[in-house]
Structure 1
Amino acid sequence: MDFEMVMQGLEALSNERLKKMYISNGAHEPLFGVATGKMKPIFRKTKINQPLAEQLYATGNYDAMYFAGIIADPKAMTEADFERWMDGAYFYMLSDYVVAVTLAETDIAQAVADKWIASGEELRMSAGWSCYCWLLGSRPDSEFAEGKIANLLEVVEKTIHDAPERAKYAMNNFMYTVAISYSPLHDKAVETAKAVGPVEVQKDKKKSKLLNASENIQKSINRGQLGFKRKYVRC
């Protein structure tokens, strides 16, 4: 399938209800509103195709950008490529579920995520913390330096309440992921989550909600999910 055929295929799967939901989460035109599971038949025809992924990502169409993440070849992408993709990631569903996910399948993932966490930019920070969540939730514990992950937990404890809104979500998820998926620091992550307590995030101009990693960790422990690792990061 070439670029035009993929775009036509995505448009044919458009769903007005999903489109409205994506827009309510921060997406904007152009987009079709395609359920991610519906993209699989198109993927079976395109396979992994980095040149096509680049064409699709450059459209600015949310659904095309998401599909670009599915067909991208992470190992063919450089740090500069990921920086460019982040520049185009205009809201968290792109930064955290497309760019961070694709980055998590590379050997440069931790180095790039570290830079993004330290950047002070909301979506880069969110993508950096999210990348660690995807990594910790899928790779063997032995691939991580325990001291480094411990330091990141300390950064979360000290800075989460003053972090940008989307970064708060990702940092909260990081505490949860370390507790559930990274056995060496389970106890430290549990202690960190208790020390942090509920985290207030603004949903829109009027509403706010509380995130509580400690509660979510306990729920997952009760469900027997301790030690959980994904087989695949991407769809």
Structure 2
Amino acid sequence: MTVKQILQELEALGSDQTRRIYRSHGAKNPLYGVKIGDMKKLLRKTGTLREEALELWDSGNADARYFAALAVEADFMSRTNLRKWARQADWHMLSEYGVAQLISESPHGWTLGIEFIESLKENVACCGWATLGSWLSFRPDKEIEVDQVKALLAKLESTIESKPNRLRFTMCNFVVAAGAFVPEMTKVCLAICKRLRNLEIEPVKKGCSVPEIVEDLSKIQTMGRIGKKRKRGRC
């Protein structure tokens, strides 16, 4: 399919209701309002993309950008392009899910995640923490440097109170991911979760208060799913 055809398909799949939902989460125009499930169905028709994904991103359309992040071949993406996408991902579904999960699958996932968490731009820093959490979710244990994860958690806990609201939320999610996917860190993360319970985060969606976020790790442990890996970052 050509880029023009993909854009036409996305436009046809859009709805007013989904546009309203996406706008409530920060999406900006141009925007079709396509459900992620419908994007995945379209992906089965287009297959993996390369140059077409870059064109879709450069269209500036929010749905086209999310689809590009779903469809592009991770190994095709250069550091330069991944940095550009992280910088331009201007709403949290795109920065913390679409782009972050793509970056985690690329050969540059861990190093770019580490780079991005130092950014002064909130969307880039959020993308960084989400990338690192996604990277841990599917990488084999032998690839994970536990000491690095431990150092990141210490850095996170010492700085989280000074961070803006959305970034606090994403950092809390990293604690849960580290505890869930790195068994050696589960006890450490559970202890951090307890200490973060009084951290203030203004609700960004239903079920996103700190107690509800940190209780996720306890639930994962109770279900016996600590250390259960995903097949890939993008899902």
TM-score by length of 1: 0.93
Distance 1:88 1:231 in 2: 27
Q: Deviations over 1:30-78 (max 9, x none)?
A: 1111111112332123211111101111111111101101111111111
Distance 1:62 1:68 in 2: 10
Gaps of 5+ in 1: none
Report what 1:16 is aligned to: 16
Distance 2:3 2:138 in 1: 31
Amino-acid identity (%): 30
Q: Is the 8 A contact 2:87 2:123 kept in 1?
A: no
The SS at the match of 1:31 is coil
Distance 2:202 2:61 in 1: 26
Report what 1:101 is aligned to: 101
Alpha-carbon offset, residue 188 of structure 1: 1.1
Report what 1:181 is aligned to: 181
Distance 2:200 2:156 in 1: 14
Corresponding letter in the other structure for 1:59 = S
Corresponding letter in the other structure for 2:159 = T
The SS at the match of 1:224 is coil
Distance 1:43 1:215 in 2: 34
Q: Deviations over 1:94-152 (max 9, x none)?
A: 11112111100112111111111112221111011101111111111221111110001
Q: Aligned pairs, how many?
A: 233
Report what 1:165 is aligned to: 165
Q: Is the 8 A contact 2:122 2:164 kept in 1?
A: yes
Gaps of 5+ in 2: none
Corresponding letter in the other structure for 1:211 = V
Distance 1:230 1:94 in 2: 20
The SS at the match of 2:201 is strand
TM-score by length of 2: 0.93
The SS at the match of 2:200 is strand
Report what 2:63 is aligned to: 63
Greater mean alpha carbon deviation, residues 191-200 or residues 116-125: 191-200
2:123 is the counterpart of 1:143: no
Corresponding letter in the other structure for 2:70 = I
Q: Is the 8 A contact 2:130 2:174 kept in 1?
A: yes
The ranges of structure 1 where at least 4 consecutive aligned residues each deviate by more than 3 angstroms after the TM superposition are: none
Alpha-carbon offset, residue 203 of structure 1: 4.0
2:231 is the counterpart of 1:231: yes
Report what 1:35 is aligned to: 35
Q: Is the 8 A contact 1:199 1:210 kept in 2?
A: no
Corresponding letter in the other structure for 2:137 = G
Distance 1:128 1:164 in 2: 15
Distance 1:103 1:169 in 2: 20
The SS at the match of 1:202 is coil
Mapping for residues 85-96 of structure 1, pairs under 5 Å: 85-96=85-96
